[in-house]
Each structure stands twice: as C-alpha cells, then as structure tokens.
Amino acid sequence: MSLAVGLNGAGRIGRVLLRLLRDDPQVRIVAVNDVADPDLLVHLLRHDSIHGPFPGRVERPDEGILAIDGRPVRLTARNRPERIPWEAAGAEVVVDATGAFTGRGAARGHLERPGVRRVIVSAVSDEPDAVVVLGVHDGTVPDAARVVSTGSCTTHAAALPLLLLDRAFGIVAAEVGTVHCTTGSQPAIDLPHRDRRRARSALLSMIPTTTSASRGLAAALPRLAGRLTCHAIRVPVATVSLVDIVAQTERPLPDLDGLRRLFVDAAAGPLRGLLGTSEDELVSIDFRGDPRSAIVDLPLIARPGDHLVRVIAWYDNEWGYANRLADLLRIWSRDARPGESSR
C-alpha cells in the first residue's frame, strides 16, 4: 500500500516533487495546498523554464481538484498548517515546502489534523524532532519524531564530502562556501530588503550573503559543530550551484590520487546514488537534472599542504534536493507507517 502524502507549497521544490512522484508506486501525493491561483499552478506545472514540459497530463477538471495523468489530487488554499484539511484526502505525511513554516511549533500545526502522523520540513528547521540528510543518516527516525527536517540543498551537498573527510582524516576546522544560483527570494530589480546586498538586482551582480547551511550542517554533523563557517555568493544563474570546501585535518592527507579515490570509492559504494564524481572539465549547466546530492569535481581537488584540502562539488539545488525528499518518503513507505511502531 502506497504512502499518502500531502504537499504544502507548490513552489520550485514542491513542483519538482510532483514530477518525481507522479507515477510512483510507493508514494502518492494525495493533496496539495497552495495560496496561489489554481489555474496558475496548473500552468506552472505544465511549463517549467528550467525542467521543461511536465512529463504527463495536468488538468483542473473541477473546483478543488488537480488531476495528474487522470489521478485526482485534492487542491486547497489555506494559509495556516492547522487549517488545511489533510484528512479529507487521507494524508499520513505532510511535506511542508513553503519555506514559511520551518520552526517546530509552526510545522506541528499540520499534526493537529486527523491522520497526519509526521511532517517533513524541507528546510533547515529550529528544534525539529529529527534531522535527516541521506548518506549521513539512513532515513529511519524514532516513532516519536513527528517533525523531521531535511535541511537545505546546500546542507546535503556539503555534508557528504565533509562526512568522508572527517571519517578518513578528522576535520579540525572547515570553511564551506556555496556559489549558489538565484532563488525566488531575490528581486529582479533593486528592492528594499533587510540585507542590503540582497536588496540588489539578482540579474546584474554576484551577491555575497549568508546561508542556512551553517545551522543545517551543525545539526546533521554534530561532531563538526563549532568547527565550520559558511558563506554564500548568489550568482545570476537559473539552476545548479556548487560547494567549495576548504578543510584542515587532524591526520596527514594522502596525495591527490588518494584523495580522489576516497570520493570515487564512496560514490561507487556506500553513497551510490547520493554522491557522484566527475573527471570531465564540466560547467554548471552540465549538471542540470542530476538527481545526486553532490558531484565532486575530481580535477579541482587541491592539497595545499599535508593537512589542508580543498574540494568542490556541484549540485542541482532543485532536482537533487527534491530527489532526497522522494527517497525519504519511499523509505518510510517501505517501513511501518510513519509515527507507528514497527513492532
């Protein structure tokens, strides 16, 4: 029996998730809540500037119904989690992809609805019951974990290289930078914003700013809490970003070939499907639509000293991250029903 999922927020991540799960036998999105005009949602699902046409039929045959390949999905437009009637569609798990209800208290509003057993916050969250970054974690969480954060796209991209480096050599300290594509929170023209740099046009500048990955990585890799600093530079590119990691290690590093083997072996073994490597001299657009969390650029690995290493990894910040949400839902669909004991 497939897992019934409610989706709150049909923005960039939400719409990619609808694509990924449209004919999935293990997971069904049974309801979508978004305050945008329903006809506009249908249009944006059908036509995507980055990912192209929807790979199926999207219609709105009736008020309050979205049909994907003929399968009805309940459509609502409530502005608070506790007001969304998930029970009408039988949703067991809610994915909150709005970016607006990231705190534990706000996200728990979904749990007030009958039948909802667990909430995934697709962002770095304040005080969730559990954090899941696949590759660092196996996806199983305690029955009592009702609000689960999956961190951010950058958290996933940086966590896997950091995990491998720390296990192999021990990390004393690291700086994690992301050269990140433009997101919907940035204005096309100069507009007021509390961050003066982010008030500037996303189309015309590279924009230094902060990233939630600093909190996300500390939660996912608690051993490294207090040892990491993070920054972001937003660039006028539509999709695909990179992480640039510089780490000081406790133990001496091998030569460049040894460092490359560390990532190649992990990508072919325990992190297969989550981590990738590339030997070609590629650029960001070559990784559009890549489902992996991070792809280490092997020629760009540098070893300035016996205890200092630099690793650059590419990631499709939409497609790769949404794939991890889909993976987690599939894991839960194979286990006991979320929030219920497997005993």
Question: Which amino acid would we find at residue 166?
Answer: D
- Catalytic one of 153, 171, 230, 311: 153
Q: Which residues contact 246 (CB under 8 A, 6 or more apart)?
A: 174, 175, 308, 309, 310
CA distance 253 to 225: 22
Pick the closest to residue 162 from 179, 149, 175 (CA basis).
175
Strands 47-48 and 27-33: unpaired
Q: Mapping DSSP to helix (H, G, I), strand (E, B) and coil, where does residue 159 land?
A: helix
In sequence order, which residues have a C-beta less than 8 Å from that of residue 126 and are 6 or more positions away? 102, 103, 104
Adjacency order of strands within the sheet including 58-62: 58-62, 65-68, 71-76, 27-33, 3-8, 93-96, 118-121, 147-149, 130-131
Cβ neighbours around 54 below 10 Å, total:
19
The answer to whether the beta carbons of residues 190 and 200 sit under 8 Å apart is yes
Q: What is the dihedral of CA 198, 199, 201, 207, to 10 degrees?
A: -20
Those residues whose C-beta lies under 8 Å from the C-beta of residue 265, and which sit 6 or more positions away, are: none
Question: Is position 230 annotated as part of the catalytic site?
Answer: no
- The CA distance from 292 to 223, in Å, is 24
**Residues shown for the chain:** 343
CA distances from 265 to 184, 260, 274 (A): 36, 9, 13
- As a dihedral over the C-alpha atoms of residue 28, residue 292, residue 144, residue 94, rounded to 10 degrees, the angle is -30
Q: Are 148 and 141 in contact (CB under 8 A)?
A: yes
Residues acting as catalytic residues: 153
